[in-house]
Amino acid sequence: MTAAHCVDRYQDWTVHLGAQNIKDTAEPGRVTIVSTKGTIHENYDSSEITNDIGLVNLPKDVQFTGKFSLSIN
């Protein structure tokens, strides 16, 4: 999950799972995935910045680790 204004402007996204420092490409436990599919909220309004919710769909399943996991609230 991210902001719609981040999804709306681009054609692809690099997702860094488990990263604390995105500049450290050798960070232990880090998984990097490139996605080309994103979705924005159907009522997103860029001029009012309302419903600013977007999803980046990962192209493959992810194995959860001690560095990252599913968050359900």
Residue 48 lies in a domain: yes
Is 68 within a domain?
no
What are the pLDDT digits (tens) for 26-72? 999 899 999 999 999 999 999 999 999 999 999 999 998 888 888 77
Place of tokens 């599919």: 37
Q: How far apart are the first and last CA of the chain?
A: 13
Cβ contacts of 36 within 8 Å, gap of 6 or more = 11, 12, 59
Q: What pLDDT score was predicted for residue 70?
A: 83
pLDDT in the model for residue 65 = 86
The total domain count for the chain is 1
CA distances in angstroms from 33 to 18, 26, 30, 45, 47, listed in the order given: 11, 15, 10, 28, 31
pLDDT of residue 17: 92
| Position 63 in a domain | no
User: What pLDDT shows up at residue 48?
Assistant: 93
Residue-number span of the structural domain to which 25 is assigned? 4-57
